[in-house]
Amino acid sequence: MSDNSFIREVNEELRQDQMRVLWRRYGPIAIGLAALLVLGMAAWVAYDHWWTSRANESGDRFAQALELAEEGNSQEALQLLEELENSGAGAYPVLARLRAATTLADSDDIDGAITKFDEVANDAAVPAAIRDVARLRAALLLVDHGSYADVAARVETLSADTNPMRHIARETMALAAWKEGNRENALSLFGEIADDEQAPAGARQRAEMMMDLISGTATGEAG
């Protein structure tokens, strides 16, 4: 046997001895970690299946509530929506709160609807975009059922130049100002919409129409 062959055999024996030592020392730990990994994956798959099932069930119940509301069964719809608020999964509890407010408004319970929208708008746990939508919905109801101050308290912060909802916020405030007889404020707000090149074409057209209407009314009264 050559020296090189002898050295290779010795090295191979040393490696095998090292592997046996390592396995005796760390083998049980490796087996335990592998078992934990398998159990963890199984738990995650089970949880994901459970959560998906809950979300699907909540979606079905939400669709049922919408159908009841469309059919005029407001009380049944509200009861189902309340259940979703308390026990629904995913985004459905928040959607249920918004839909409940809309159902109340459709049932002429304006105060209840505004209160419901305000609750969503003031809930820090709700995503900011949905809170802003709730503010706008409450403000739109208050155009006919509140004061300009009520409307502004909810959407004035949304009328900033950098806010993507500024056009509808300004339009809502302008309508409330006009309703109170404050033509100057209404014209100013509608003018901001009309002059905003980033405003939707429909919003600019409505603003220009309202400015013409308000200016024409003022001229007629002056004459």
Residue 162 is classified by DSSP as T
How far apart CA 207 and CA 189 sit, in angstroms, is: 9
Q: Is the whole model's pTM more than 0.75, yes or no?
A: no
Q: pLDDT tens across 19-69, in order?
A: 665 556 655 665 666 666 666 666 656 655 555 666 678 778 888 888 988
In this model, does residue 217 exceed pLDDT 60?
yes
Residues 6+ apart with CB under 8 A from 192: 170
How far apart CA 212 and CA 186 sit, in angstroms, is: 12
138-171 burial, b if ≥16 CB within 10 A, otherwise e?
bbbbbbeebebebbbbbbeebbeeeeebbbbbbb
Q: pLDDT tens across 175-201, in order?
A: 999 999 999 999 999 999 999 999 999
Length of the chain: 223
Residue 223 is classified by DSSP as -
Residue 159 is classified by DSSP as G
